[in-house]
Chain A
Amino acid sequence: MEDQLKFPDLTDAERKALEELMPDDMSEIITSGLKRRHFLKLITFTGTSLLATHFLGIEQLMARTTAGAPLPPTGVENGVNVAFKVNGSTQKLLVDSRMTLLDALRERLTLTGSKKGCDHGQCGACTVLVDGRRVLSCLTLAATCEDKVVTTIEGLADGHTLHPMQAAFIKHDGFQCGYCTPGQICSAVALMSEAKNGEASYVTRNVRQTGKSVKLSDEEIRERMSGNICRCGAYPNIVDAIREVHGDKAVAQVWQFADGTI
């Protein structure tokens, strides 16, 4: 009843969706930025069409783990039996040799967090982690994944506690439409371990100097994230989010609501 008063414009279904999408500990995960009540206020004021847009963005960030029994294959030619781990659970599938890992995740395992952007390895929306390394699932044949360990956006959060990179993307508004966001976040999570391992990039000052871990400048973050395209142009905010997770101190949030609150 209280919710109904808060959201007079919402249908029951929308209200339910909103509640499902909001983690219980929302206000705790963002210490210096977005508060739950402000978030709700924003949504209430934006009306239903904008609301849908925001849902899309938020939905990408918090895509839930839903993998139940795999959907059955249809019209398989040159079938390959393959068993691999996805977000901790073993999946056994009979796949057409042509099926990409991306299609297997989306169409067979109903893990639709990973997105099909260009389907040609040019946009990065399909980025997932395979054996801990970021790869393009649209150019990975599912048949090659025997015994591999796959982590998708759905596998990053620990229950209702978001992965720090997910929380940082919310705090810094690292997305607008949200379509590239699962790929951006998976890519950024892998980037953290690459930096920790001391891996170099093209803009690394001197590749001959090897060391344990790399401190990433904004230029380094941009170069290392160049495989993930964002057509909304949220790049500055994405860089802020990554810098916050990579560094040891909070990065100031640069946006605020029209009434001056954050």
Chain B
Amino acid sequence: MRPFKFSNAGDPATAITLVSANPGAKFLGGGTNLVDLMKEDVMHPSELVDITRLKHADIEKTATGVSIGGTATNSFTANHELIRKNYPLLSMAILAGASAQIRNMATNGGNLNQRTRCTYFYDVNLPCNKREPGSGCGALKGVNRNHAIFGWSEKCVAVYPSDMAVALAALNAVVHVEGRNNAKRTIQFADYHRLPGDTPEKDNNLKQGELITSIDLPTNDFAERSYYLKIRERSSYAFALVSVAAALSLDGNQIKQVRIALGGVAHKPWRASVAEKWLMGKEATESNFRAAAEAELKNARPLEHNKFKVVMAKKAITRALQGAMQGGVYGLEG
């Protein structure tokens, strides 16, 4: 690992000032991804500012929902009474990710900012536009089994790895960030992460030195019917091939509101808005779920090795919606 300066920020303003002042500086949360990337020499910050002791770790009720702290750990968040009762989709998604050890370390802000696990990004001997802009995309014509079927560009076909973020996308979360000189702003979750386009080196729309202070979860009526389904190569502790966050609210058996977001298929959590639109006002039946999934996947653009994801995503959407209908009970999704 290359040498770097370490500092322990006492307050948010100091942390933000330090990272804003040095383009090579990074905030350090749990470090579960960043420290690994530094060992691999994929990332080499010249300075790390430890933010885990800042007072942004609370989870609390607000006028419009619940606010979760940027430096609260994933474990704390997933197990918080307010989240388990009101946003079980978020608990399930967090618990589907990584391992108990990693969830104990990882922060919510850090989870959103984790990098792709594309093997071409990780291997410094191979070309990757995300790691080294202009070097080319090794995966486009290479081994792209785990890569995107939506929203990719010739520059990058990587997928975004977070499970938590897929649930946050479905929940229409709002990210609160703070920059230099107390400059605060909010970012709608759909606008937080980016598609690769011509600048795959940018995963999200944060500016250097901007810190995620909290994430707002708007009130909803999905708690009774939501489900996070994750399909992976082994039953635990692996990244998603395809995952689905599904949430429904009903009027009788008629769909009043529906949210569907997919993981493992794009450079950001993919809102299945075609399927959502298709389902609005329809009966909540398996055949309608299947038809909606078909409609969404019509727009998929699979690569050479990942055509299976198209079929898998259709089935996963249907199963996740059924899981939501079964009250979000694990294992009952059919």
Contact = CB atoms under 8 A, between A and B. Distances in A.
Interface of A: 77-78, 80, 96-98, 100, 119-121, 124, 127, 133-136, 139-141, 143-144, 146, 187, 190-191, 194, 197-208, 210, 222-224, 226-228
Interface stretch (B94-102, B134-142, B254-262): B94-102
B280 interface: no
Interface in B288-334: 327-331
A202 B1 contact: no
A228 B78 CA distance: 21
Pick the 5 closest A-B CB pairs, nearest first.
A227-B99, A226-B236, A97-B6, A226-B237, A202-B95
A222 B236 contact: yes
A244 B328 CA distance: 30
Interface in B26-85: 28, 30-32, 35-36, 39-40, 48, 50, 52, 75, 78-79, 81, 84-85
Contacts of A199: 75, 79
A199 B52 CA distance: 22
B331 A203 contact: yes
A171 B314 CA distance: 47
B12 interface: no
A206 B328 contact: yes
Nearest to A204: B330
A204 B194 CA distance: 33
B6 A80 contact: yes
B3 interface: yes
Interface string B244-260: 00000000000000000
Contacts, number: 127
B8 interface: yes
Interface of B: 1, 3-6, 8, 28, 30-32, 35-36, 39-40, 48, 50, 52, 75, 78-79, 81, 84-85, 88, 91-92, 95-96, 98-102, 104-105, 223, 230, 235-237, 327-331
Given A190-B100, A208-B85, 18 more contacts: A78-B3, A78-B5, A97-B3, A120-B36, A121-B101, A121-B102, A133-B75, A134-B100, A135-B104, A141-B28, A144-B50, A191-B100, A200-B78, A207-B84, A207-B95, A208-B223, A224-B100, A227-B100
A191 B103 CA distance: 13
In the complex, which of the residues A97, A119, A191, A228 has the most CB atoms of chain B within 10 Å of its own CB atom?
Answer: A97
A171 B78 CA distance: 34
